[in-house]
């Protein structure tokens, strides 16, 4: 089934955008992990729509109801099940999409795959609404990674449309510098770039359009030597997890596709020895490969970039196909949609990375004991 991820951690997502609830089941989660509910709530809040100018007007409380797997604030080792109620639904906005599929959305392909029995309301199971339980699962994964391995996950908006963020002093930031941005209107480092991004998003919304973006996520303190070559590479695991996020259309690591602009002598990561409290550690002078070589971690931060396409549901009149008449027709999409998905996707991409890294760590270290 396409809604299940993981080798050791088995994460299953369920529900539809306008159904009674959405949720997840996490099987194989380590036992004895301290569950910080305040942290979980803060992660859920980061994904919520709070500014109607930059996000959808649909507001949800997104409070997870944990049904099993946690007792007295600790994980029991049994499957963790949680639901999130859908409280703000306007299903009538989608009544015409059974015969008028939205361009660049899953309406048409889902209709073909499930012979028209798919729930079309708000995108159904294909909706970005399903990222809420993903963020819940990611929050738990972050807690387990921090407690057992001191691994930390963070992300920022690298680019929206043609506006790029800038790192302080042109050096890759620390985890603490990443999370200092979480209280900003956008998770970026450079305030000037942030203001330009906000203007671009607001302009797109006023013009009944949308824009895309790139999110860069990092996993700090992943031990060197974790991973496998070929089909079990760290890149393969992370890509499988991240491509489950709706609207993600590209993944790369470190310099990624920018490698084409360099010669090897300009971009090779050269080895060096650094001392921390009189302990010598192998590092690389640069991290252009994003902390992974041969599918295996080298001890540097794992850096992954996710490209998120513009929201396909826009209010401009668009050409589509009338499934009943088999003729071209015009469509004006109703409903409430994000003018830029990347704005709220930062914790989602972090969650996808955290779940993949936790699954990897359990592979390398068994039950994490």
pLDDT of 143 above 80? yes
53 is in an annotated binding site: yes
Residue 313 is assigned to a ligand binding site = yes
| Cβ-contact 345, 302 below 8 angstroms | no
Can you tell me the distance from the alpha carbon of 315 to that of 243, in angstroms, rounded to the nearest whole number? 26
* Pair type for strands 327-331 and 318-322: antiparallel
Q: How is residue 101 annotated by DSSP?
A: P
Strands 70-71 vs 74-75: parallel, antiparallel or unpaired: antiparallel
Beta partners for residue 24, in sequence order: 13, 82
**What DSSP designation does 189 have?**
S
Average pLDDT, rounded, for the chain: 93
Lowest mean pLDDT among 61-75, 209-223, 255-269, 321-335: 321-335
Tokens at 257, concatenated:
């596709």
pLDDT computed for residue 93 by the predictor: 58
92 labelled binding-site residue = no
H/E/C letters for each residue in 212-242?
Answer: CEEEEEEEECCCCCCECCHHHCHHHHHHHHH
Q: Check the annotation: does 294 bind a ligand.
A: yes
Least confident of 30-34, 145-149, 306-310, 333-337: 333-337
Q: What is the pLDDT of residue 97?
A: 81
Beta strands in the chain (DSSP E): 4-5, 10-15, 21-27, 65-68, 70-71, 74-75, 80-85, 152-160, 163-164, 213-220, 248-253, 271-276, 279-284, 292-293, 296-297, 302-308, 318-322, 327-331
Alpha-carbon distance of 16 to 39, in angstroms, equals 26
275 belongs to an annotated ligand binding site? no
Q: Is 127 annotated for ligand binding?
A: yes
φ/ψ of residue 316, rounded to 5: -65, 150
Domains of the chain with CATH codes: 4-254+289-368 (3.60.150.10)
Report d(CA 1, CA 14) in Å as an integer. 11
Question: What is the helix (H) or strand (E) element at residue 179, kind and residue range?
Answer: helix 175-179
Q: pLDDT by residue (tens digit) across 84-133?
A: 999 866 655 566 788 889 999 999 999 999 998 989 887 889 999 999 99
The two most distant CA atoms of the chain are separated, in Å, by 75
Mean pLDDT to the nearest integer, 205-210: 93
How far is residue 123's CA from residue 2's CA, in Å, rounded to a whole number?
Answer: 16
Q: Is 2 annotated as a binding residue?
A: no
Which burial class, exposed, middle or buried, applies to 274 when counting CB atoms under 10 A from its CB (0-12, 13-18, 19+)? Answer: exposed
Helix (H, G, I), strand (E, B) or coil at 92: helix
Residues 6 or more apart whose Cβ sits within 8 Å of residue 369: none
Q: Is 213 within any annotated ligand binding site?
A: no
What are the structure tokens assigned to 236, written together? 């393969």
CA distance 223 to 301: 10
Listed in sequence order, the residues at least 6 apart from 88 whose beta carbon sits closer than 8 Å to its beta carbon are: 58, 59, 60
Is 310 annotated in some ligand binding site? yes
pLDDT mean over 220-241? 97
Give Cα 184 distance to the centre of its chain.
Answer: 19
pTM for this entry: 0.95
The answer to the question of whether 98 is labelled as a binding residue is: no
């Amino acid at each position: 089934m396409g809604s299940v991820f993981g080798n050791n951690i088995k994460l299953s997502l369920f529900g539809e955008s306008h159904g009674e609830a959405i949720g997840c089941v996490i099987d194989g989660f380590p036992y004895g992990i301290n569950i910080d509910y305040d942290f979980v709530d803060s992660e859920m809040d980061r994904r919520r729509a709070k500014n109607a100018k930059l996000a959808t007007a649909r507001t949800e409380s997104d409070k997870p109801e944990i049904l099993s797997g946690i007792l007295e604030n600790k994980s029991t080792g049994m499957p963790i099940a949680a639901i999130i109620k859908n409280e703000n639904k306007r299903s009538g906005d989608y009544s015409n999409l059974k015969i008028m599929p939205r361009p660049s959305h899953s309406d048409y392909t889902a209709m073909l795959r499930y012979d028209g029995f798919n729930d079309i309301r708000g995108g159904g199971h294909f909706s970005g609404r399903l990222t809420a339980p993903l963020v819940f699962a990611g929050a738990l994964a972050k807690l387990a990674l921090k407690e057992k391995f001191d691994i930390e996950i963070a992300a920022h908006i690298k680019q929206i449309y043609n506006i790029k963020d800038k790192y302080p002093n042109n050096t890759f930031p620390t985890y603490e510098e990443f999370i200092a941005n979480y209280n900003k209107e956008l998770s970026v480092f450079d305030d000037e770039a942030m203001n330009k991004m906000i203007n671009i998003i607001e302009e797109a919304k006023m013009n009944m359009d949308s824009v895309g973006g790139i999110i860069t996520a990092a996993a700090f303190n992943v031990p060197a030597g974790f991973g496998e070559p070929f089909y079990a590479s760290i890149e393969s695991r992370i890509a499988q997890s991240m491509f489950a996020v709706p609207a993600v259309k590209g993944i790369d690591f470190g310099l990624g596709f920018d490698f084409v602009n360099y010669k090897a002598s300009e971009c090779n990561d050269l080895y060096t020895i650094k001392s921390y409290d009189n302990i010598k550690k192998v590092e690389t002078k640069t991290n252009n490969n994003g902390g992974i070589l041969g599918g295996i971690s080298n001890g540097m931060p794992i850096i992954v970039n996710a490209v998120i396409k513009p929201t396909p549901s826009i209010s401009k009149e668009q050409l589509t196909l009338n499934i009943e008449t088999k003729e071209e027709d015009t469509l004006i999409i109703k409903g409430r949609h994000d003018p830029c998905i990347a704005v709220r996707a930062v914790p989602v991409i972090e969650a996808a990375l955290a779940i993949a890294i936790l699954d990897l760590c359990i592979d390398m270290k068994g039950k994490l004991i």
